[in-house]
Amino acid sequence: MSAVTETTAAGNSERARGTSGWAYALPALLLLLIFFVVPVVGLLLRSVLEPEPGLGNYATLFGSSTYLRIFLNTFMVSAVVTALSVVIGFPVAWMLAIMPSRWASVVFAILLLSMWTNLLARTYAWMVLLQRTGVINKTLMNLGLIDQPLALVNNLVGVTIGMTYIMLPFVILPLRGVIKAIDPAILQAASLCGATRWQCLTRVLIPLALPGVAAGALMVFVMSLGYFVTPALLGGTANMMLAEMIAQFVQSLVNWGMGGAAAFVLLVVTLCIYGIQLRLFGAGRLGQGA
């Protein structure tokens, strides 16, 4: 960390702040201004202007139990997905950091393959696997664990499984980096100080990995809040989530005011969580999603 700060500081002091060089950014800047800022601001404006000026849309959004249930669903599913991803992802990230490189590269390749495979292909796979006559239900019934097929799809269980599948790599990859950066000698020292394995884990390794856990968890949570495809396909119409609701307002109901208002709520929550992340860990980690 300190080396990074030093080089940046040195780089900054060398050149005085002026105006040169900014023109190179102009094409990208114009693109984003016209096709990103203008549309988003336009949408948000419509939330307070349509059908009539005022905060009526927001009052409806927060006053109706239907919409509140959707918010609640979204937060609940996101929280469960985040918790599952962290709990399942931690041991994998840990092993990935210390395994013999031959094995680690196999796990790594699987992670990348899963991450890079088309989102719809992956979601389709889960739709097939989780259906009433799907492999999972049939296996469980053959094993005698259940008599009736479980309802695993068209409900929040399906959404949670599908989303956890998609989010796992986003926890594992950054967390692996954080664990790899921990000096093994610190764990050796803890052991010699008399700490059992369990004490080493709970008192040293987990606390030291916590920044990575928190960064990964926040990222997964915020991505889950706005996720559209997987909830729409695995959740069914009865268990709508926030992103789907926004799409419905616009596509089916052609209610731009409500759509804009719901989008604004999602936007504000997202930015708040990223704000927390920036506060906690600085800007360095934002780029890790790439």
Partner 1 sequence: MTTPFLQIRNIRKAYGDVTAVNDVTLDIAQGEFMTFLGPSGSGKSTTLYILAGLQNPTSGDILLDGRTLLDTPPHKRNIGMVFQRYTLFPHLSVGENIAFPLRVRRKPKAEVDAAVRRALKLVRLEGFEDRMPAKMSGGQQQRVALARALAYDPPVLLMDEPLSALDKKLREEIQYEIRRIHQETGVTILYVTHDQEEALRLSDRIAVFSKGVIDQVGTGTELYANPATRFVAEFIGDSDFLKGRIEATDGKSADIRIGEHLILPAVSVHGSARPGNEAAVMLRPERLTLSSTPVSTAGSLAATVKDVTFLGNNTHVLTETATQEVLSVRLPFGHEAAGSLRPGQPVWVSWDSSSAHAFCT
Partner 2 sequence: MLLDFDRLGAWKWVLVTITALVSLFLLLPIVFIAALSFGNSQWLIFPPPGWTLRWYRDLFADPRWLEAAWTSARIAIAVTVLSVVLGLFASLALTRGNFRGREVLRAFFVTPMILPVVVLAVALYAFFLKIGLNGTFLGFILAHLVLALPFSVISISNALEGFDKSIEDAAILCGASPWEARFRVTLPAISHGLFAAAIFSFLVSWDEVVVAIFMASPTLQTLPVKIWTTLRQDLTPVIAAASTLLVLFTIALMLLAALVRKGMKK
Q: Which of residues 179-198 bind partner 1 (CB under 8 A)?
A: 183, 185-186, 188-197
Q: How many residues bind partner 2 (CB under 8 A)?
A: 102
Q: Which of 94, 170, 235, 285 binds partner 2 (CB under 8 A)?
A: 94
Q: Which stretch binds partner 1 (CB under 8 A): 55-63, 129-137, 202-210, 279-287?
A: 202-210
Kindly state the smallest distance separating residue 36's Cβ from partner 2, in Å: 5
Burial pattern 117-130, b for ≥16 Cβ within 10 A else e, equals eeeeebbeebbebb
Kindly state the smallest distance separating residue 228's Cβ from partner 1, in Å: 38
Q: Which amino acid is at 261?
A: A
Tallying the residues shown for the chain, one arrives at 290
Q: Which of 97, 163, 240, 261 binds partner 2 (CB under 8 A)?
A: 97
Q: Can you tell me the distance from the alpha carbon of 272 to that of 276, in angstroms, rounded to the nearest whole number?
A: 6
Compare residues 147 and 183 and give the one whose CB is closer to partner 1. 183
Q: Does 21 bind partner 2 (CB under 8 A)?
A: yes
User: What single-letter DSSP state applies at residue 181?
Assistant: T
Spacing of C-alpha 272 from chain mean position: 14
Compare residues 60 and 201 and give the one whose CB is closer to partner 2. 201
**Among 265, 211, 225, which residue's Cα sits nearest to residue 79?**
225
Q: Can you tell me the distance from the alpha carbon of 246 to that of 260, in angstroms, rounded to the nearest whole number?
A: 8
Q: Can you tell me the distance from the alpha carbon of 80 to that of 162, in angstroms, rounded to the nearest whole number?
A: 12
Kindly state the smallest distance separating residue 191's Cβ from partner 1, in Å: 5
Spacing of C-alpha 202 from chain mean position: 25
Please, which of residues 256-285 interact with partner 2 by CB under 8 A?
256, 259-260, 263, 266-267, 270, 274, 283
Kindly state the smallest distance separating residue 4's Cβ from partner 1, in Å: 15
Q: Can you tell me the distance from the alpha carbon of 89 to that of 84, in angstroms, rounded to the nearest whole number?
A: 8
Burial pattern 168-201, b for ≥16 Cβ within 10 A else e, equals bbbbbbbbbebbeebeeeebeebeeeebeeeebb
Kindly state the smallest distance separating residue 114's Cβ from partner 1, in Å: 32
Identify what 199 binds: partner 2, partner 1, none; CB under 5 to 8 Å per kind: partner 1
Q: Which of 124, 253, 276, 284 binds partner 2 (CB under 8 A)?
A: 124
Kindly state the smallest distance separating residue 73's Cβ from partner 2, in Å: 15
Q: Can you tell me the distance from the alpha carbon of 231 to that of 243, in angstroms, rounded to the nearest whole number?
A: 9
Binding mask 204-223 for partner 1 (x = CB under 8 A): x--xx-x-------------
Instruction: Count Cβ atoms below 10 Å from residue 278 Cβ, excluding itself.
Output: 13
Please, which of residues 195-254 interact with partner 2 by CB under 8 A?
197, 200-201, 204-205, 222, 225-229, 233, 243, 246-247, 250-251
Q: Which residues bind partner 1 (CB under 8 A)?
A: 183, 185-186, 188-197, 199-200, 203-204, 207-208, 210
